[in-house]
Structure 1
Amino acid sequence: MTPNREDYLKIILELGGDGNKISNKQIVAGLDVSAASVSEMISKLVKEKLVEHSPYQGVQLTQKGLESASTLVRKHRLWEVFLVEHLNYSWNEVHDDAEVLEHVTSEHLADHLEHYLGYPEYCPHGGKIPKHAETIHEEKRKTLTDYPVGTAVRIARVLDERELLDYLVSIDLKIHEEYKIIDIAAYEGPITIKNPQKTLAVSYKAASTIFVDQLIKE
């Protein structure tokens, strides 16, 4: 399988394609590619029985596609943990190098890497790390764009995409931080969130790929 195909399977999985239909528009935004390129690749993945496609609804991973995507994600996220914990990479720097390393990592090496790291459960971006031969199912979460003003949330997971991660570093948003949504601008404008330390205006595009847990304040 080519790295390009693998990237598509991973992004579909990250967007929730293990259990839901993912639109071409979401894939375009996640991979920063043209709509025509996405349509062409989806056709190839359908022929290879890696995804199922429903017109006007989107694509979903088949069992074969889920198994392939889970194997790729496991290697990628293990390397991200290694780079952050042992080579002092920041969370926005790891993607590109982990992308290279995953494509040359055997299952044997991945098993040894996992053991060396102490069997981590999550990557630096909040994504689950499946065990050997295990298919991954991310916890079902809504994104920052799905909640109204006044909602308290915790940043739980972000899409593993370099441009997004660079943006989040630039506005100083980190995983596990807690915020209250204080404003949602019209026409897909920024979403403003606040905690005692800072107030951030998060672009709608970024907010749509930031998965959060709603906090119930007692």
Structure 2
Amino acid sequence: MTPNKEDYLKAIYKLGGMEELVNNKQIAEALQISPASVTEMLGKLKREGLIHYEAYKGSRLTPEGMRAAISLVRGHRLWEVFLMRHLGYSWSEAHEDAELLEHITPPRLTARLDKFLNYPAYCPHGSAIPHPNGQIDRAPLQTLNLLPVDTASHIRRVTEEKELLDYLQETGITIGSPVCVMKAAAYEGPLTLDLEGKRVQISYKAACQIYVDETAGL
């Protein structure tokens, strides 16, 4: 299977395509390609038995497609753990190189990497690492922009996108950090955070890509 096809399967998986239909627009936005290219590739994946595809409705992974997607995601996130834990990679560096390594990692290597790392549950960006059977340990989360002012929580996950990762790393945001929104400017303005006793300001757009523990009543 080509890396391009694998990227489609991984995108459909991450968009919820194990349980529900994912529309073409979502896939195009996730992969940053044209809708026409998406339609063409989905036809190929359907013929190969990797997805169920319904025109004007969307796509969902078949059992074979699920196995391929889970293998890719496991490999990617385990490599991120290895690269940051043992080779001193930054957040964005680990994500970039894991994107390459995931396509050339056979299941045997993934299993041994998992064992070597002592079976981590999450990647360095806070995303859950699927078990070999596809099961994922999930905790209820909400985006930081929805956290009420003066409410304490903890940062649990960030969206894996290079520019965002570089931006957040410069602010000192890390997974597990306690956080409290001190002030939220009007009209989707910046948020002022108390981050482990340090006052930090981030954009509203970035706050929408940072996930924290879900607070009661929301």
**Given residue 182 of structure 1, which amino acid in structure 2 is its aligned partner?**
M
> 1:91 touches 1:165 (CA, 8 Å); kept in 2?
yes
Give the direction of change, closer, same or farther, for the CA distance of 1:25–1:121 in structure 2 (3 Å limit).
Answer: same
Alignment of 1:135 with 2:123, yes or no, is no
- Per-residue deviation at 1:19? 4.9
Give the direction of change, closer, same or farther, for the CA distance of 1:102–1:34 in structure 2 (3 Å limit).
Answer: closer
SS state of the match for residue 92, structure 1?
A: helix
- Per-residue deviation at 1:143? 1.4
| Structure 2 residues without counterparts, runs of 5 or longer | none
- Per-residue deviation at 1:174? 1.2
| Structure 1 residues without counterparts, runs of 5 or longer | none
Q: Distance in 1 between matches of 2:52 and 2:167?
A: 30
| Residue number in structure 2 paired with 1:175 | 175
- Per-residue deviation at 1:76? 0.5
Give the direction of change, closer, same or farther, for the CA distance of 1:41–1:69 in structure 2 (3 Å limit).
Answer: farther
Q: Distance in 1 between matches of 2:62 and 2:3?
A: 19
Residue correspondence of structure 1 range 1-218 to structure 2 within 5 A = 1-14=1-14, 16-19=16-19, 30-31=30-31, 33-34=32-33, 36=35, 40=39, 43-44=42-43, 47=46, 50=51, 61=61, 63-132=63-132, 134-137=133-136, 139=138, 140-214=140-214
> 2:11 touches 2:27 (CA, 8 Å); kept in 1?
yes
- Per-residue deviation at 1:146? 2.9
**Given residue 50 of structure 1, which amino acid in structure 2 is its aligned partner?**
I
Percent of pairs identical after alignment? 44
Q: Distance in 2 between matches of 1:206 and 1:124?
A: 18
Question: What TM-score does the superposition give when structure 1 sets the normalisation length?
Answer: 0.77
Larger gyration radius, structure 1 or structure 2: 2
- Per-residue deviation at 1:18? 4.5
Residues paired across the two proteins, number: 213
- Deviates further, 19-28 or 140-149: 19-28
- Per-residue deviation at 1:86? 1.2
- Per-residue deviation at 1:55? 5.7
**Given residue 141 of structure 1, which amino acid in structure 2 is its aligned partner?**
L
